[in-house]
Amino acid sequence: MDEPVYSIFDIKRYSINDGPGIRITFFFKGCPLSCVWCHNPEGMSRKQTRMYTVSKCIMCGACVQVCPAKALGFGRVHGAAGGGIQWDPDLCTMCGKCAEACPTRAVEMASKPYTPKEIYAEIQKEKPFFEASGGGVTFSGGEPLYQGEKILQLLDYIGSAAVRDGFTLHRTLDTTLYAPAGLVREAVPRCELFMVDIKHMDSRMHRHWCGVPNEPILDNLRMIASMGAEYIVRIPYIIGVNAGPANIASTGRYLSSLKHMPMYVELLPYHDIGKSKHSRMGTVYNPESERMSSPSTADMEEAAEILKKYGVPSRF
């Protein structure tokens, strides 16, 4: 059987926000959701994504010269408007040779293939930090469960390899839980923590903002709670989307109805970090110009108080 390969678009070391202790976080390509405010739009598609930072470009032409498909040109090319380097989407094969040739990294490919052995080798480098802080590895994205059965194979592999090497590895899945119930059920005994996003309690509004309904997410969360899994709920709290007493009270009622409550709810104030990434991808952030803004401290405190009424601990 061929060794599975995983498309990773980022590796973040020394992370302190993706689970307990100091962690290494791997970001997987591909996500079934399409959240308007997505922080990692380069992780949405399973396909390779090219990033171009025009401010870094010195217009040396190295990328133009090496392109085997002759898909690149300066300024206006193939009818495209604007300065810098232009790509013809009909000719570009995403081979990545332009990124390899770029001396300033103005051109970058968003993902790189990794085998389980290669992922574990990166994890091993961080072992001293895990032991000192109670940290571990977090798989994020994109959506790690979008890898299907391959994510179970990876969780098994790194867990067994760590035991072989004499240490216990804390494994966390940072997930939307928008995945087949059977896959989620199989993941529960293979990781020590779930970090689960709840974007909106109204399924119609969830579909509007994220492209999919929320019933599979809420059903899967109820399932892992009934199985006794440890989990944290994270809510991207956004004025104009899900902020306000009605939605947060609905969230509190739902969480308080679960057999096993979350360790806590983390309220994450909105920011538009994804905007600059869309610019580098050549796509448009918030194309419908939806009204979204950051909550005030008072808004966050109000949400925390509402959750508290339902016995749900929170932090922000």
The pLDDT tens digits for 250-296 are 999 999 999 999 999 999 999 998 899 998 998 899 998 999 999 99
Both tokens assigned to 304: 């925390």
Question: What distances in angstroms separate CA 295 from CA 53, 152, 248, one per listed residue?
Answer: 30, 37, 13
List pLDDT tens digits, range 231-244.
999 999 999 999 99
Taking a C-beta distance cutoff of 8 angstroms, is the pair 199, 214 a contact? yes
For residues 108 and 105, give the distance between their C-alpha atoms in angstroms, rounded to a whole number. 6
Q: Which amino acid is at 196?
A: V
Largest CA distance in the chain: 64
User: Rounded to the nearest 10 degrees, how much is the dihedral formed by the CA atoms of 260, 266, 267, 270?
Assistant: -130
For residues 178 and 9, give the distance between their C-alpha atoms in angstroms, rounded to a whole number. 20
Q: Helix, strand, or coil here: 10?
A: strand
Residue 83 pLDDT: 66
Both tokens assigned to 296: 């005030």
| H or E, element range at 123 | helix 116-124
Over the chain, what is the mean pLDDT? 93
Residue 154 bridge partners (DSSP): none
Name which of 7-11, 131-135, 183-187, 249-253 the model is least confident about.
131-135
Taking a C-beta distance cutoff of 8 angstroms, is the pair 245, 307 a contact? no
For residues 23 and 207, give the distance between their C-alpha atoms in angstroms, rounded to a whole number. 32
Residue 55 pLDDT: 87
Exposure string over 242-275, b if 16+ CB within 10 A, otherwise e:
bbbeebbbbbbebbeebeebbeebbbbbbeeebe
To the question of pTM greater than 0.75 for the whole model, the response is yes
Taking a C-beta distance cutoff of 8 angstroms, is the pair 183, 152 a contact? yes
Distance between first and last Cα of the chain:
46
Taking a C-beta distance cutoff of 8 angstroms, is the pair 155, 190 a contact? yes
Question: What distances in angstroms separate CA 72 from CA 49, 56, 193, 259, one per listed residue?
Answer: 16, 17, 45, 57
Taking a C-beta distance cutoff of 8 angstroms, is the pair 99, 64 a contact? no
For residues 34 and 26, give the distance between their C-alpha atoms in angstroms, rounded to a whole number. 20
Would you say residue 220 has pLDDT above 70?
Answer: yes
For residues 38 and 285, give the distance between their C-alpha atoms in angstroms, rounded to a whole number. 9
Q: Helix, strand, or coil here: 12?
A: strand
